[in-house]
Amino acid sequence: MARELAGKREIKQERAGRTRVLIARAAAEVFAEYGFAGASVTKITERAGLTLGALYFHFENKEALAREIVRGQPERVTPARESQGLQRAVDISLTWAHQLLEDPYLLAGARLVMEQDSFADPDGNSHQQWTTVFAESLTEAQRLREVRASIDVENVARLIVHACTGAQMQTYLENGRQDLPLRVGEMWSVLLPAIGTPSALRRIRVDDPREVMA
């Protein structure tokens, strides 16, 4: 009997997990299309094919949904190429630029970036999240002597985030973000000589990190 109850509980948890993922994806699609202000829980549940009760069982409101989508952005960007330090920072930004073209969660994050005051605390917004991500890679790069010791990695990390944010907004207006990877690559072509050591600059690759070499 105990084993049967445990099995039923596990099935129920798996079903709940799938429902939560379904709601989050529908919310991402709706936020990407309508923004935070234009989205509604009704639109989200209709997109998911679920009831309002199902949504409220998993999420308190659309603010909670938006926070979850924003918090999960860095986890969705994992370069296929194994790298560390400065190369890792480059690869993360370029992977993000390529994935943004088709990933509804990243598209939602791009659309929500200007509306975060409606649902996120200043210390928990996407700018700060991504700054932390890049600062970690740049700190490692400095330890590996790939980034010059005089460089303030926090300042450079913020600069990268601001540049990528501006690039995605500008390319959205110009061509639906189709040349976003190119613009991010251009950013690195300017930034790398300013922060990198000569030995690091000779080996850093600014190309599509999804093309993993055998």
- Sequence-distant (≥ 6) Cβ neighbours of residue 76 within 8 angstroms: 99, 103, 105, 106
Q: How far is CA 24 from the centre of its chain?
A: 15
Please give the structure tokens belonging to residue 81: 């190429």
What gap in Å lies between CA 124 and CA 60, rounded to an integer? 18
What gap in Å lies between CA 106 and CA 165, rounded to an integer? 12
What gap in Å lies between CA 39 and CA 176, rounded to an integer? 21
Residue 87, helix vs strand vs coil: helix
DSSP state of 26: H
Partner residues linked to 147 by β-bridges:
196
Q: What is the pLDDT of residues 94-111, one digit of tens each?
A: 999 999 999 999 999 999
- pLDDT for res 11: 56
| Residue 74: CB atoms within 10 Å | 17
Residue 213's pLDDT band, with cuts at 50, 70 and 90, is: very low
Q: Which of 172, 200, 195, 209 is nearest to 80 (CA)?
A: 209
- pLDDT for res 214: 35
Element (H, E) at 165: helix 153-175
Q: What is the pLDDT of residues 187-210, one digit of tens each?
A: 999 999 999 999 999 999 999 887
- pLDDT for res 17: 84
Question: Domains, the chain, ranges and CATH?
Answer: 2-62 (1.10.10.60), 73-201 (1.10.357.10)
